[in-house]
Amino acid sequence: MELLFKERLMVNLPLGKPIEAPIMFKAGTVIFALGEPAKYLYLLKKGEIRLLKVTGQKLSVIKLCKEKEILNEVSVLTNKPSEFAAIAKTDVELVLIDQKDILTVVKDGPSWIPEIFETLCERLKSTQDIIEEHNLSAGEKNSDMVLTKDEEKGYLNALAEYKIP
């Protein structure tokens, strides 16, 4: 498993400041783990990332993220640890935006912006809970949502080796 990035990053929102170039991650690399404190919002520039629910030694694919999607938004906006793990399915390029920069923009915006984000995050979390409670899964319909035994074993090994920075 390869960790290439976190010590040197301070990515800024585009408020007249440039965003740092995307960071490369190899397929199978843990981007963030279940329970990891929110530090970055991730903008997926290239590749695919699986968001995984980790229950003991069992993994469930929650979502396959593709180019132009964001990851870790709820954790960043609510300042709560991640409820999922994110592992690169393919080689990926990510832009990392520091949580402090996101929260500054939210705080410095109109007074109603934080309330909107809080409501959206609560609704998203509620929807995720309903899906989990009813054991709804797109896995049977979408092969991207199903892990092979080798993929699950490799991901579990990567997560076991991962050290939260």
**Is the residue at 81 inside a domain?**
yes
98/128: higher pLDDT: 98
148/14: higher pLDDT: 148
**Is the residue at 1 inside a domain?**
no
Give the global pTM.
0.77
How confident is the model over 114-126, as pLDDT tens digits? Answer: 888 888 888 887 8
Q: According to the model, what pLDDT value does residue 32 have?
A: 95
Distance CA 132, CA 8 (A): 36
Domain that holds residue 34: 6-161
Do residues 121 and 78 lie in contact, with contact meaning Cβ atoms separated by under 8 Å? yes
Q: In what order do the strands lie in the sheet with 23-25?
A: 23-25, 92-98, 40-46, 70-71
**Is the residue at 154 inside a domain?**
yes
CATH of the domain at 47: 2.60.120.10
**Is the residue at 12 inside a domain?**
yes
**Is the residue at 121 inside a domain?**
yes
Q: According to the model, what pLDDT value does residue 163 have?
A: 86
- Our count of domains for the chain comes to 1
Could you tell me the two tokens for 140? 């049977």
Average pLDDT of the chain is: 81
Say whether pLDDT at 74 is over 70. yes
Q: Which residues pair with 46 in a beta bridge?
A: 93
Q: Where are the beta strands (DSSP E) in the chain?
A: 23-25, 30-32, 40-46, 49-55, 58-65, 70-71, 85-88, 92-98
Non-local (6+) Cβ contacts of 145 within 8 A are 61, 64, 137, 138, 139
**Is the residue at 58 inside a domain?**
yes
Say whether pLDDT at 5 is over 50. no
Do residues 78 and 37 lie in contact, with contact meaning Cβ atoms separated by under 8 Å? no
Provide the 10 A C-beta neighbour count for residue 61. Answer: 23
Q: According to the model, what pLDDT value does residue 1 have?
A: 36
Q: According to the model, what pLDDT value does residue 11 have?
A: 41
Q: What integer is the mean pLDDT of 11-40?
A: 77
Q: According to the model, what pLDDT value does residue 6 have?
A: 40
Q: According to the model, what pLDDT value does residue 135 have?
A: 59
**Is the residue at 43 inside a domain?**
yes
**Is the residue at 74 inside a domain?**
yes
Q: How confident is the model at residue 78 (pLDDT cuts 50, 70, 90)?
A: confident
Q: According to the model, what pLDDT value does residue 33 have?
A: 94
Amino acid at 74: V
